[in-house]
Amino acid sequence: MNLFFQDKLAGSLMAVIACITVFIPLFNLLTPVDSVLHFSAYTVSLLGKYLTFALLGLSLDLVWGYCGILALGQGAFFALGGYAMGMYLMRQIGTRGVYGNAELPDFMVFLNWKELPWFWQGFNHFGFAMLMVVLVPGLLALVFGWLAFRSRVTGVYLSIITQALTYALLLAFFRNEMGFGGNNGLTDFKELLGFNIQSEGLRSLLLMATGLILLLAFGVSRWVMNSKLGRVVTAVRDQEMRVRFLGYRVEHFKLWIFVFSAMLAGIAGALYVPQVGIINPSEFSPLNSLEIVIWVAIGGRGTLYGAIIGAVLVNYAKSLLTGWAPEIWLFFLGTTFILVTVFLPNGILGLFRSQEQKL
C-alpha cells in the first residue's frame, strides 16, 4: 500500500482510478439502462480506452522519464500487443465471418490462401495469445535494445532509429502478404472468452480489467523504481559514464527497463483492441509514438502518475476537439506541447509539486 500512497497526489489519483474501475462497471451491471448511474456503453469504452493509453504513457515514462532514453517507437510495442490480441479475436470469429470459413479469417479467404500460416497457429488459445501479447513486444525490444545499447547508441540517434523501427513495421504490416490483414488490419470481432464483444457486460469487464492492470502496473513500476535498480536507472539518465565506472553494465540495465516497458506497452495494446474493435497498421504510425511522448511531457515525466494524468487529459481533449473541430487538433496539441516545454518543464505535475514545496 505504501507504494501507492507515497505522496498525496499519487494516492488520490490511484483512488480515483480504483473508483472508476470498480464503480462504473458495477453500476452498469446492476442498474437499469434508464438510471442516472448507468453509463452508456460508449462512455465505458471511452474510459477503458483512456486507461489503456494511461498504461502506455506509464510504460514510456519508465524508459524516458527515469532512464533518459527518448524512445520514439513505443507505439510499435503497443500495436504488436494489439495485433496479438486481434489474432486471438479473429480466430474466435469462426464460421460467423462473411465467407463462413471455420479455420481462416476472411481476409485470408479473400487472398485465396488455403491454410493458416504458421505464425497464426496457437492464437485460438487465449492463454497462448496472452503470452504472445508480452513476449512478442518483449522479444523485439530485447533484440533491438541489445543491438542499440551494446553499440552505445544514445540520445537523438537512438530516438531516430526507434522512429525508423516503428515506421518499418508500419510499412510491413501494410502489405497483404504479411498475413495480418494489410491495410484493413483485423476487425469485425465477435466474441472474447465466449462473451459478445459488443455487450455492455463485456465492456464493463474490460474497463475493470484495464483499471486493475493499470493499478497493478503502477504498483510494480513504483516498486521497481524504489529499488536500487531504480536508482541505478536514474543514475544512468544523469551520468551514464559514472555508472559504468562504478562497475555496472549500463547496457544490461537499459535493456531490462526497455524490455519491461515494451511488455507493459504490449499489454496496453491488447486491452485497447477489444475496446475499440479494430487494430490496423496506422497504430504503427510514427506520429502515434510522438504523441505518447507529448502525453508524458504534459503530465510530467519521471513520476509515473504524471504520465497517467497526461495520457488521460490529452486524450480527453482529443475526443472533445476532434468531435468539434478536427482540423485544429494537431495545432492545439503542438501548441500545448511547446507551451508546456517552455513554461512547465516538469509538466502539469510540476505545477502541483512546486506549490506543495512552497507550503
CA–CA distance, 310 with 312 (Å, rounded to integer): 6
Answer yes or no: are the C-beta atoms of 160 and 71 closer than 8 Å. no
Q: Which of 76, 132, 165, 243 binds other proteins (CB under 8 A)?
A: 243
Q: Is 239 helix (H, G, I), strand (E, B) or coil?
A: coil
Residue 248 CB, nearest distance to other proteins (Å)? 5
Q: Which of 34, 115, 238, 327 binds other proteins (CB under 8 A)?
A: 238
Q: Which of 27, 110, 248, 352 binds other proteins (CB under 8 A)?
A: 248
State the pairing for strand pair 186-187/278-279: antiparallel
Q: Is 27 helix (H, G, I), strand (E, B) or coil?
A: helix
CA–CA distance, 305 with 308 (Å, rounded to integer): 5
Q: Is 345 helix (H, G, I), strand (E, B) or coil?
A: coil
Q: Does 228 bind other proteins (CB under 8 A)?
A: yes
Element (H or E) spanning 332, and its range? Answer: helix 329-343
Q: Does 154 bind other proteins (CB under 8 A)?
A: no
Q: Which of 70, 109, 178, 235 binds other proteins (CB under 8 A)?
A: 235
- Closest to other proteins by CB, 103 vs 251, is 251
Q: Does 253 bind other proteins (CB under 8 A)?
A: yes
Residue 39 CB, nearest distance to other proteins (Å)? 40
CA–CA distance, 69 with 258 (Å, rounded to integer): 9
User: Among the candidate windows 38-46, 135-143, 189-197, 236-244, which touches other proteins by CB under 8 A?
Assistant: 236-244
- Closest to other proteins by CB, 198 vs 239, is 239
Cβ count near 355 (within 10 Å): 9
Answer yes or no: are the C-beta atoms of 79 and 87 closer than 8 Å. no
Q: Does 231 bind other proteins (CB under 8 A)?
A: yes
Q: Does 131 bind other proteins (CB under 8 A)?
A: no
User: Among the candidate windows 76-84, 124-132, 189-197, 244-252, which touches other proteins by CB under 8 A?
Assistant: 244-252
Q: Does 252 bind other proteins (CB under 8 A)?
A: yes
Reference 23, options 13, 33, 32, 15; nearest CA is 15
Answer yes or no: are the C-beta atoms of 266 and 78 closer than 8 Å. yes
Q: Does 127 bind other proteins (CB under 8 A)?
A: no
State the pairing for strand pair 191-192/186-187: unpaired
User: Among the candidate windows 134-142, 168-176, 221-229, 316-324, which touches other proteins by CB under 8 A?
Assistant: 221-229
Enter the DSSP assignment of 121.
Answer: T
Q: Does 239 bind other proteins (CB under 8 A)?
A: yes
Q: Does 357 bind other proteins (CB under 8 A)?
A: no
User: Among the candidate windows 77-85, 132-140, 249-257, 274-282, which touches other proteins by CB under 8 A?
Assistant: 249-257
Amino acid found at 240: E
CA–CA distance, 152 with 293 (Å, rounded to integer): 22
Binding stretches for other proteins (CB under 8 A): 224, 227-229, 231-232, 234-235, 238-239, 241-250, 252-253, 256
